[in-house]
Chains A and B, each alone.
Chain A
């Protein structure tokens, strides 16, 4: 059950990922969500927003700055702990794996926090997947381009047809146990040196 009365602060330098998380939290019924990318002036934001839960990406070097803030009793009136249920190792491992960390004010029921963390972990993972797919698509495109160029070079220099040039690249890749794009790259490099 979502608990719309909880105030959540999301700190993420990655603007796209931050908005993906924010959207997820709002969809789940959390209306008090603040998202910041910049940690400058974060002490004031924490003082004003009084978040119950702070979600932060663990690649953020400013985590050490947060630790310092939590030491200053004036900034954070209630004690803060990482995660809330240390016995839930599966959740903690999933969070660390996904790259999320969470600070939670003392006294919050763990069930109420778990839903938020699950959501953050889920969205962080979705974002990583998206990024990976994007990178793969990009590299696939690059590979196709280089193979096209190698084909053109082989057709010109050895008088092959397009099919023959492609077959030659594939056969060579199989013989040498290499990727076709690697062979194509060698052809392009060699041609650049020889011509």
Chain B
């Protein structure tokens, strides 16, 4: 009934030619890899392109997907496999989704409980400085002992069935000789709950994005055993998703958005801006997490555990460098290869086209007039700087053979999870 309350004051709208929208509702999950979207909104890059980004925090990837599908969001922070799954018709609400822009690389890590890690040291005899592969092999040795003694097998958390975390965790386990569907149990745990779930013993490890690995290691409940860079440095992490019809109807807006995000990504990569970025991310509206942890995470300064073991990963976050934002169809096909490897999808010619079509370099190039020199379907992992942890090389044109080449995989459609604890 109060008529004298001040209404919220929206800035004077600036005009874009025609009827194109200038206020974009963007859904996001509070994670460090939402940096580029947040920076675009907070540090003037979107307004410079005549756009206002209305960032809406959400609690689950399923919500982000549905709110984009049902038009409550115009664009969304998404896991890199989500548009691929959507275009393949996978999941419980597949709705056409594409991405013209990747939000960068890096940020993920695998953390195991300190108890499990100590056992790996005892059984596997690994050093504090063990590599990601050595850690996986030590875990395999522990699991062999567990099976021998009839102990319950470890339960590991990841974030979503169609997530980089799911495929990276599986890749790491399998590289060590562990079958992710038979030797362990994979469950979904919302990222903010991972550290507590580990402390409570509900899970024995997890693969999530920043800052949650660091949060668990700082608390002394977890030990970081592998970073995304160890598994495959070039793997795309999050992307900006949108409906293809929306992109088609608003080409000018899409181009302006990409231009704004490109400038924001460049800004995020500059070390001089990392303090300002950390401050912004720490805000209640965004991550609501301690600023000192975010600063460390951005710098790639890792506390592996609470005992002071540290590791610095150069480019732990790459927001712009080395074409980090280019939506490379070959990467979408790698994701498809992992979906096939773990029985989420079957190979087909139509599937190849659908998966590759989820990533839209044409929109990226139209906006920025540039892109990497390498072919969109070039071989991945052949270069030392870009190697997969198990030495496999991915040739998108021989996808089936690539999947067949893995000794650890799940035959189509029938994952057999171990019994519930």
A contact residues vs B (CB 8 Å cutoff): 41, 43-44, 58-68, 70-75, 80-83, 89, 92-93, 96, 101, 103, 173, 177-179
Contact = CB atoms under 8 A, between A and B. Distances in A.
B315 to A, nearest CB: 28
B190 A64 contact: yes
Nearest to B414: A73
26 contacts: A43-B420, A58-B60, A58-B63, A61-B59, A61-B60, A62-B60, A62-B188, A63-B62, A64-B60, A67-B61, A67-B92, A67-B160, A68-B160, A68-B161, A71-B161, A72-B417, A73-B414, A74-B416, A75-B417, A80-B92, A82-B93, A93-B70, A96-B67, A96-B72, A178-B4, A179-B2
A82 B60 CA distance: 15
B5 interface: yes
A66 B67 CA distance: 17
B187 A61 contact: no
A117 to B, nearest CB: 14
A60 B60 contact: yes
B255 to A, nearest CB: 29
Contacts of B91: 67, 71
A59 to B, nearest CB: 6
Chain A interface SS verdict (over half): mixed
A71 B66 contact: no
Contacts of B159: 64
Please list the 3 inter-chain residue pairs (A to B) with the smallest Cβ-Cβ separation, ordered nearest first.
Answer: A82-B93, A61-B190, A68-B188
A81 B92 CA distance: 5
Contacts of B416: 74
A57 to B, nearest CB: 10
Main secondary structure, interface of B, reads loop
Contacts of A64: 60-62, 159-160, 188, 190
A80 B59 CA distance: 22
A82 B67 CA distance: 12
B193 A61 contact: yes
Nearest to A61: B190
Interface string B1-28: 0101100000000000000000000000
B4 A177 contact: yes
B92 A82 contact: yes
B405 interface: no
Contacts of B420: 41, 43-44
A86 B410 CA distance: 32
B413 interface: yes
Given A64-B62, A73-B415, A173-B4, 11 more contacts: A41-B420, A44-B420, A60-B60, A64-B159, A67-B160, A68-B161, A71-B161, A74-B416, A80-B92, A83-B93, A179-B2
B415 A179 contact: no
A130 to B, nearest CB: 19
Contacts of A72: 415, 417
A173 B72 CA distance: 39
Nearest to B157: A65
Given A44-B420, A73-B415, A179-B5, A63 B67 contact: no
A34 B66 CA distance: 25
Contacts of B92: 67, 70, 80-82, 103
Contacts of B66: 58, 82, 96, 101
A60 B59 contact: yes
Contacts of A178: 4
B303 interface: no
A179 B420 CA distance: 57
Contacts of B60: 58, 60-64
Interface string B53-88: 000000111110011001010000000000000000
A177 B3 CA distance: 10
Contact of B344 (A71, A80, A82): A71
Contacts of A83: 93
A103 to B, nearest CB: 6
A192 B336 CA distance: 66
Interface centre among A58, A66, A177 (most CB of B within 10 A): A58
Contacts of B192: 61
Contacts of A65: 187-190
Contacts of A58: 60, 63, 66
Contacts of A82: 66, 92-93
A82 B414 CA distance: 22
Contacts of A70: 92
A178 B67 CA distance: 37
B142 to A, nearest CB: 25
Nearest to A43: B420
Contacts of A63: 59-60, 62-63
B187 A81 contact: no
Contacts of A80: 92
A68 B415 contact: no
A66 B188 CA distance: 8
Interface in B154-188: 159-161, 187-188
B417 A74 contact: yes
Contacts of A44: 420
A82 B91 CA distance: 9
Contacts of A96: 66-67, 70, 72
A80 to B, nearest CB: 6
